[in-house]
Amino acid sequence: MKPNTNPETGIRYGIISSRSLNDDVVNEMYQVGKDVHFTDAQEEITEGLERVLGDFMSDDSIERVTKLAIEEMSNDFNDDEPVYEGTLDGVNFRTTWLGGALLVYIFESPITTYAKLCSPCVPNCGDLDNLEAMCDGGYECYGVPDSWRADCLTPEEN
């Protein structure tokens, strides 16, 4: 299996800079998406407390302690590069960071397009930032709705 390819469909993932997207769309991704790092931290706290307290407390007591620990963690949790994943407008996405820049993987979408491949940093992934390259052909990958783009231009309008 090639990296950055949907294992079920064989179509390449697309990736796009958040700067190429409408700010409202990026904000909505944060609203509808799951904060992956925060969720991972919650699971780690839960598993750790269950393991440590399992021999000393009832399940109900462990659940109360865990809930309190997660609430406290929520107050202090700080993530300079949060990662969100979810579905918006039928598009399965996950944010990522590369060199301090916020990027969005498109894992599956009702929209496919043709794009040039990205640099070795995201091998085999379709570059959704370069609309001109999309007009010149390229490789099939998942894309984003035109309305998501900051400039709202379709490849035909370039």
Q: Domains in the chain: how many in total? A: 2
Whether residues 57 and 131 share a domain: the answer is: no
Strand locations in 50-150 (E): 84-88, 91-98, 101-108, 112-115, 126-127, 139-142
Q: What is the pLDDT of residues 69-107, one digit of tens each?
A: 999 999 899 999 999 999 999 999 999 999 999 999 999
The verdict on residue 6 lying in a domain is no
92: containing domain: 14-34+82-157
Helices (H), the chain: 23-32, 36-53, 59-76, 131-135
pLDDT (average), residues 54-64? 94
Whether residues 104 and 41 share a domain: the answer is: no
The verdict on residue 96 lying in a domain is yes
pLDDT at position 130 = 81
Q: What is the pTM of this model?
A: 0.84
Q: What is the pLDDT of residues 12-52, one digit of tens each?
A: 999 999 999 999 999 999 999 999 999 999 999 999 999 99
Q: How many residues does the chain have?
A: 158
pLDDT at position 2 = 76
The verdict on residue 5 lying in a domain is no
The verdict on residue 7 lying in a domain is no
Whether residues 62 and 100 share a domain: the answer is: no
Whether residues 136 and 95 share a domain: the answer is: yes
Q: What is the pLDDT of residues 103-134, one digit of tens each?
A: 999 999 999 999 999 888 899 999 999 866 66
